[in-house]
Amino acid sequence: MFRALHEKIGVERAVIVNATLHGFDNRVVTDAIAKSDGKYRGVANINNAMSDADLVSLNKAGIRGCRFAFLKRLGGVGDMNAFKRLVDRAAGIGWHVDVYLEPGSIREFTPVLTALPTTYVIDHMGTIDAGKGLDDPEFKALLNLQKHDEKCWVKITGLERASSAGPPFQDAVPFARSLMENAPDRVIWGTDWPHPNVKIMPNDGDLVDLISLYAPEPAVRQKLLVDNPVRLFKF
């Protein structure tokens, strides 16, 4: 299904983010990478029970970052000291950190993020709410963080999550457009397939069609879809 979707929408390379439900077993990702002829990279779930050798092994298998979900439905913030130790270890092997934040927590997490020793990617456009408008203090905080911390990248995904109007989710386009214009060299795009925990299951073709609305310039689209992920994931 994954490959069929990519064939349909024209994706040639991909980054697979290990789902939370797999816990710290990353084999579903590393197996896919191994069968991809160099076309896939991955983002792993890690914990402090893993040895340095375990992390090096994941790196050799094509993992290029690790993910932390600070969501109440997934257990909340947790032990921040353990998080910092893991980030230090990830930074030591050249990984970036993917952070999935609870809606409305950008300002709370800004000091934590700016202190990180490595590049970090804010997932799902910071889980913004399009219904609150572009002047929402949380969205302004996200733009400020993205603009002024060169370690900060933003993943342009989840327009269907951000939308308050529903399909075709165009009310979320101005937010994606603002993030694109704010730091075009530090944005990446993703499908978020298979879209877990969404109120309305989107059509992936409709989501692809939105790209031309928030990234109408060919050179900027090239950065979003090709050049930036090549740098970040070391293709």
What's at 68, amino acid-wise?
F
3-state class (DSSP) for residue 149: coil
Q: Is there a catalytic annotation at residue 98?
A: no
Beta-carbon count within 10 A of 188 CB: 21
Kindly provide the b/e burial profile for residues 119-158, where b requires at least 16 CB atoms within 10 angstroms of the residue's own CB.
Answer: bbbbbbbbbbbbebeeebebbebbbebbeebebbbbbbbb
Give 42's strand partners. 16, 63
Residues contacting residue 36 through CB under 8 Å, at least 6 positions apart: 14
DSSP string, 30-52: HHHHHTTTT-EEEEE---TTS-H
Residue 123 contacts residue 86 (beta carbons within 8 Å): no
Place of tokens 């230090």: 88
Tell me which residue of 44, 124, 87 sits closest to 78, measured CA to CA.
Answer: 87
Q: What does the alpha-carbon distance between residue 91 and residue 95 come to, in Å, rounded to a whole number?
A: 5
Q: Of residues 185, 192, 204, 206, which has the active-site annotation?
A: 192
Catalogue the active-site residues.
192
